[in-house]
Amino acid sequence: MLPRRLVVKRFKSTRAAVVETAAAGRPRGPADSQERGARRTRRPGSALVAQLERNDDPTKRRLREAYLSDEASRNSSNVKAALLDEARVKREAKLLVEACRTTEAKKRASPVQALLHEYRLSSTEGVTLLSLAEALLRVRSKEGRSRLIADKLGDRKARNAQWLKGHVGVGKPVVVNAASTALAASELVVGSEQAFKSVAGDALGSLVHRVGADVVRVAVVSLMKKLGDEFVLGETIGSALKRASKMPHLAFSYDMLGEAARTRDDAERYFQAYANAVEEVGVGQRQREDQHHPAPGLSVKLSALDPRFEPGRRQDLLLSESSSSSLVEKVSELCEMAADRGLDLTIDAEEAARLELQLDVLSATSARLATSRPGWEGLGLAIQAYQKRAPAAVDWVAENVARRDKRRALRVRLVKGAYWDAEIKLAQILGLASFPVFTRKEATDCSYQAVAAKLLLEYSDCLKPAFATHNARTVAAVADIARKKPPAQDLEFQRLLGMGEDLHLAAKDVCFGDDFPKSKVVTRVYAPVGNHTELLAYLVRRLLENGANSSFVHALADDSVKAEELASDPVQLLEKKFEFTSHPAVTAPSEIFGPRRPNSRGIDLTSDIKAAALFAERASAFEEDASFFEKAAVEEEAVVLDPSTGLECGRFRPSTTSDVDVALQSAVLGQPAWCALGGAKRGTILRGAAEEVEARGAKLCSLLVAEAGKTWADAIGEVREAVDFLRYYAERAEVDLAPSIMPSVVGERNELCYKGRGVWAAIAPFNFPVAIFVGQAAGALAAGNAVVVKSAPQAPLSGAAVVECLHGAGVPKDVLFHVTGGAEVGRALVRDSRVDGVAFTGSVATARLIAKDLAARREGPLPSFIAETAGLNALVADESALPEQLVNDALRSAFVSAGQRCSSARLLFVPQQTADVVLPMLAGAARELRLGDPADLSVDCGPLVDRDAKEKVRAHVDDLLANEDVTVLAAAPDLDRSRFPHVDPANFYPPTILLLQGSLDRLPRQECFGPVLHVLTYDARAGDALAALLDQINDLGFGLTCGLHSRLDSAHAIAASKSKAGNLYINRDTVAAVVEAQPFGGTGLSGTGPKAGGPNYVRRFAHEHVVTTNTAAAGGDIDLMTRV
């Protein structure tokens, strides 16, 4: 719960003239504050506090504490939660394994199991199969399909022999023989003919080669469709029900395949698919003769019902029941349909960040159904055991939903989890305190047991669990827990279609009998339904999940793994062998750069509510500080206005040319002593500065939201980048600038050392007033220079706050100076002969002026010049690109930070062959973007930095639209004044996508620095299409960033070879380069280098010096004489 004192302080503060509360719809107290004569000031931290207070729920305290909790303590707690009859569990698990390994069981293995058993993800065959299954069916043209097949099956050192030798034989299942033979033959045609001949003989080798690529393409496509068919019950709900009717002994839960909706049209289509499924399954249920058989169920993904199912949109998703557009309304309608037809409906599991939101939707839906459909007990939720919050989530559902609404059997499907690797990666990217999931399989197994105990023993009065597993040990453990609470209750297990059938059949005989009747145990089949296009993501997830080397399913099929090992106790392993620790191969977010330097700390304000509350409190407390808003007034005082609201952010005194002169005089005098400290001592001071910046992160973020119009997420990312710069450049100073002994002849010593060049001028841009400001200053300081940094006119407060941090950490005040102002101050800096180098980030035009001024100097040393400038950055997709991923990355690349990043994508090239899918999805997703106050967590895009920037963007768009062959493909909705009445629309421009017909000739050869994405289509069928397109992009003259979305390794190689961009991003967005991991900088019109955040940056700020000493001058080489 947020501190009450903060709430009181915010309302009582005499200076809190205006506190924006976006969701409340209006600023607080402007009239009162004006009567007191106080200035109207911008307070984003206070606005954040207000937003978090609305989401403050005391019942979720345990849930939030567990979110990123310490893994060891969480493991210890779970181990204590489920005490089993270990001897019996191990004995029964071993019997189950042995039952699944009999000859009869292996013969009955489904094609799905056979395929997963055959190919490990660590093998080339497994990777190839995964790659083809994921991409082939969405490629439209025959040329594109042939190219993908050639890419995956081409000559790879006779790899085809492995398909036949290892995977074809009399005892192999038909599907494995067919797949292996087809892929081996295909590999021959596109690659290594001789390797195939060596295995199958000359005749068959030559025959297959003559068949030709066209036949191979048809064969492999047919194979992929056949494999896909094995994973689904039917392509439509009708065909699935028809197939299910032939298995009357089984209960089914139908999963309507489909990934998250990207557009409103997608969401409506998925809703109709769910509704139709409920109707058709309901008809089948009424016609069933055995009404005592468990009712069929359906699974619903909330992200398929709303394209913005994300924590930041919580208020929109949980609108009142009177709103037909709310997610709760849609889910409730589906539930009511299911209730009327006697069906179950389960909310499926999704990513960890969405769990709280899922619980909120469940709660609101259950409350409504308690009135509209009292007595219906078919509502359910899937919970993932690999989440650290799993036990707390069950507690919350039972206590705050089921018992509140007097439910006796709210359904909980317990699964282990299917997004593990994605959760690990996201936590590392965000720099979170820990992972929301366990890092060891044994920890997930223990969590599963602990949650099972809660469900069966603690909440049997209100929850009805279903245990989804293909693990013999887990089945035996659940059975043991169920026996602990007589009399026996109905017990449900679940398995995927085509998997685990033998295990679940054997379980009834092995685990149940006199003390738990078999009649009480039922197995439900989780049955996917969908066409091949919707199957792709599902199929890959199943292959990854069950084909991993650590998978029980995979180990079960490997007879070399003993049954005793598969039946072993995860608690013993976790406690005795691993001592509850996390997996050493899974690097903690803070340690991804190794022991040399910690990763900067991040926070997800929409998901990590506990940490977010502390962050908001600090930001708000900073804003309440009188010294921030009320510096000593002087006549020359200037006001900084928030570009979002027009409210005051703070005041400062603009620098003059006289100030520049004074700063340079002091810098010249202070630099020698700073340089003499040496790289190691300077590095220590810069590390301390990093700690200071990180400690004041909330303050800096508040400033960035206020004066730079950043969203909170962008602000946090920028402060993290500044911290990373300081730590990385400190390390470079210590390592790269350390003196080194060079090779030499006898009697001579050669030492290479580095010294600062003198005084540097750093000119920081408005779009990264903290990160680039710090990066430029830290690079110069690390090398032993003094530096005068000029902040952008629009963002002087952030610069001042950063300098305060660095001075506080020990950077001398006669070494680091901050000046403010516009072009006049900048020119005074650049033209002064005391400046030995200039680091600049900004436009090409300004960079040319600086270079001209530097070249025109008539005295002083030749200055160094480091420039990072603009880019006409392109994102290119081929036919194999996944449309959903491409659209997500294109929108982020183009519109994050209102398109005001040097790395922002300006161009998107889409194949004509897939344009009919990609462009509507792109347009629909763009219309879901929200323009508004960046202090509001629901906002995607804030303002441009000032009115001049907006007018330049408007003029660019208007000029292009004057051409008949340029049209608006889509634009985000304009600013909603009813939602944001306190926002000034003067600086806002909606994210806009322009469609250009024809070539690039229409596009001006200069960057439009704002939220505008230009889309062009191209014919991707030709083999040289990608190379030709990259040549056109290179001809634009820029070379900052470029993106490629393709599943072809050959396409990746072409892009890496042809693109002149300094940063090439493959299958991801083109923004947010990470210090050290992705050194950033361009070529051509995009900059001079070296790359910021790279190994060569700091050295560019230094001079090299060599000291050669004749050590034999005193009469001989003593060292040599004593060694020989």
C-alpha separations of 160 from 131, 202, 203 in Å: 16, 15, 17
Active-site residue, 675 included: no
Report the sign of the C-alpha dihedral through residues 821, 823, 824, 825, in that order: positive
Nearest Cα to 256, choosing from 214, 292, 305?
A: 305
DSSP 8-state assignment for residue 1020: -
Beta-bridge partner residues of 740? 752
Rounded CA-CA distance 784/1019 in Å is 53
Only one residue has tokens 């008949």, namely 964
- Which amino acid, one-letter code, is at 579? E
SS3 493: strand
What does the CA dihedral 575, 578, 583, 585 come to, rounded to 10 degrees?
-170
Evaluate the omega torsion of the peptide bond into residue 374 and state whether it is cis, within 30 degrees of 0: no
Please tell me whether residue 864 adopts helix, strand or coil conformation.
strand
Residue 244 token pair: 């299910």
Name the phi and psi angles at 1017, rounded to 5.
Answer: -110, 155
Q: Where are the alpha helices (DSSP H) in 101-247?
A: 103-108, 111-118, 124-135, 142-153, 160-167, 174-190, 193-200, 202-211, 213-231, 237-244
Q: Is the Cα torsion angle 672, 678, 679, 684 positive or negative in sign?
A: negative
Q: Is the dihedral of CA 719, 724, 727, 729 positive or negative?
A: negative
* Cβ–Cβ < 8 Å for 464, 75: no
3-state secondary structure 338-356: HHHCCCEEEECCCCHHHHH
State whether residue 159 is helix, strand or coil. coil
Is residue 42 within 8 Å of 647, Cβ to Cβ?
Answer: yes
Instruction: Write the DSSP symbol of residue 234.
Output: B
Q: What are phi and psi of 663, to 5 degrees?
A: -60, -45
Instruction: Please pick, among 868, 884, 928, 1076, the residue that the annotation labels catalytic.
Output: 868
Cis peptide before 487 (omega within 30 of 0): yes
H or E segment to which residue 756 belongs: strand 748-756
Are 497 and 252 in contact by the 8 Å Cβ rule? The answer is no
Rounded Cα distance, 44 and 27, in Å: 12
**φ, ψ (nearest 5 deg) of residue 700:** -65, -40
Determine phi and psi for 495, rounding to 5 degrees.
-140, 160
C-alpha dist (Å) from residue 412 to 14, 196, 232 = 51, 52, 23
User: Contact 556/100 with Cβ under 8 angstroms?
Assistant: yes
Indicate which residue of 335, 462, 902, 1008 is catalytic: 902
Residues ≥6 apart with Cβ < 8 Å to 289 = none
What single DSSP character describes residue 559?
Answer: T
State the residue for tokens 């492999």.
220
DSSP assignment, residue 221?
H
Residue 868 catalytic? yes
- Nearest partner of 388 among 337, 326, 343, 432, judged by Cα: 432
CA dihedral in degrees (527, 530, 532, 534; nearest 10)? -100
Q: Which residues are catalytic?
A: 868, 902
